[in-house]
Amino acid sequence: SGKFSVFSSMEFEVWDLKLEVHGCRFTIHHSQFTIHNSHSPLTDLYYTYYQSPIGLIKIGGTEHYIAELGFIDRPEQVIHGEPGVSEVMHQCTEQLIEFFSGKRRNFDIPVHQQGTFFQQKVWGELLQIPFGKTMSYLELSRNIGDEKAVRAVALTNSKNRIGIIIPCHRVIGSDKSLT
C-alpha cells in the first residue's frame, strides 16, 4: 500500500491483494485517486532558464505547477513560450538555487506531467527515493508491486520530463551501473 502526490491536488492510493484458491492464483488491484484541480494540463507553458552550476536548465510551467525541467545541451533547444514567469516558476528557480548551494534536499512545489496510471505510479515512487540514495530499476519495480515490470519502469523513468525534482537520476542498474 502506498500514498503519494505527483501533482499538488492529485493523490493516489494503490494496493494489491494476491490470493491462491484451489491452485489458482488471483491478483486484485485496487487503485483510487482524486483530482481536485480542474485546471487543464494542456495549458500553454511559460518557459524560463536557470544557469545552474552544472548546466543550463529549462523550466516550463503554468501558474499552478511545473511541467518540465531539464538540461539544455544545444542552443536550438531553447524554446520561447508565453511571455512572463509564474510565481510557481519563480519558486522553482529559488528552490533550484537552494538545492545546488546545498541548502535544500527536497522540493515542495507542485508538479504535473501527463502519463498513464502506471507512469504516474512510477513517478510517484521516484519521489520517495531520499536525497543521497539510489535505487535499482528492480527495486523500483518491486516497490510498485510488479517485479516483472523492470523494462516498463526503466522506460517510464526515461520519459520523466521533470528531472531533479522527480529524481529519475537516482535510479541505477542492479549491478550499480548508470544505465
* CA-closest candidate to residue 8, choices 122, 127, 102: 127
Give 108: exposed, middle or buried? Use CB within 10 Å, 0-12, 13-18, 19+: exposed
- Write out the catalytic residue numbers: 168
* CA-closest candidate to residue 165, choices 7, 34, 13: 7
